[in-house]
Amino acid sequence: MTAKVRFINQVTKALGRTKIIRPKENYATAIFEDRNLASSKAAQALEDAKAMTTTLIDQMVESADEAGWKVHRTDNFEESAELIVSICETHRAKFVLRSAHSVLTDIPLDSALSASGTVLEITEHSSKGSNQQIEKSKSAAFNADVGITGVDYAIAETGTVVLHPRAGVSRLLSLAPPTHIAVLRPGDVLASLDELFAIQRGDFLNGKLQGSMNLISGPSKTADIEGTTVTGIHGPLEVHLIIVENDQY
């Protein structure tokens, strides 16, 4: 048993989970220095994600549920929009902020939320913006009742969604509002962190790395105070994962 497998087994047991995740060893990504090899591994990781879509979605649903996500599976964009409106109405959301992910453009979300009487704003945040623009974006994120994002990747083994902050995708969007809704396309689910790091390594060596990334595995939790686990201290109290299973893209 490798040191990596032993470490993950220990963490899994410490979390009280009965299912031991045994990572594969075929994506040893951190040592790749050859650009062509890294690109090949990244391409293989993406191909595997497409080929194993159904299996990975089922694994993602199970892991995300264990991690504390409220998981929803929808058949199409219209159903997804209706579900998002329903979640916002349940929380009596008056101000909703969304990212510029393409999946949220494909979903008829803007019109659906507007029809419900909710004020919707699309984030334009960029780290390269003026100080005034950045402060305005921060204020909007902390004043929003619900933050809605797409997902750049998802990790089936841990129930994690991955977001790359960039223009139109502020890191605060998934951290500051008390409720976060993430919308996932099936083909974006990777088997493990190894595949993610293969893609990241390939992007880095080819000068395409987006910069930092957020890894979100359920609602915010901390046990800093007297060892008691408290939810929602450092981020959203409630997180929803919507998987659009039969979208046409």
Q: What is the pLDDT of residues 66-110, one digit of tens each?
A: 999 999 999 999 999 999 999 999 999 999 999 999 999 999 999
**How distant, in Å, are the alpha carbons of 34, 98, 161, 210 from that of 122?**
39, 5, 20, 20
Q: Please name every residue paired with 214 in a beta bridge, in sequence order, or none if there are none.
A: 163
Is residue 9 domain-resident? no
Which CATH number goes with the domain that contains 139? 3.40.50.10420
Q: What is the pLDDT of residues 172-199, one digit of tens each?
A: 999 999 999 999 998 899 999 989 988 8
Is residue 4 domain-resident? no
User: Are residues 161 and 138 in contact, defined by beta-carbon separation less than 8 angstroms?
Assistant: no
Is residue 204 domain-resident? yes
Average pLDDT score, the chain: 83
Is residue 19 domain-resident? no
At residue 28, the pLDDT reads 47
**How distant, in Å, are the alpha carbons of 6, 77, 80, 98, 247 from that of 104?**
40, 9, 10, 8, 12
User: Are residues 127 and 137 in contact, defined by beta-carbon separation less than 8 angstroms?
Assistant: no
At residue 249, the pLDDT reads 44
SS3 assignment, position 244: strand
Is residue 16 domain-resident? no
Is residue 2 domain-resident? no
**Ranges under pLDDT 50 in the chain:** 23, 25, 27-30, 232, 249
As given in the structure block, the two tokens for residue 89 are: 């109405």
At residue 234, the pLDDT reads 60
Is residue 224 domain-resident? yes
Residue ranges of alpha helices (H) inside the chain are 3-14, 35-51, 53-67, 77-90, 102-106, 109-115, 131-143, 193-205
At residue 179, the pLDDT reads 95
At residue 226, the pLDDT reads 56
User: Are residues 84 and 242 in contact, defined by beta-carbon separation less than 8 angstroms?
Assistant: yes
Expressed as residue numbers, the domain containing 216 is 32-244
* pTM for the full predicted model: 0.81
Is residue 147 domain-resident? yes
- As for how many domains the chain has, the answer is 1
Task: Label the pairing between strands 160-163 and 153-155.
Answer: antiparallel
At residue 136, the pLDDT reads 84
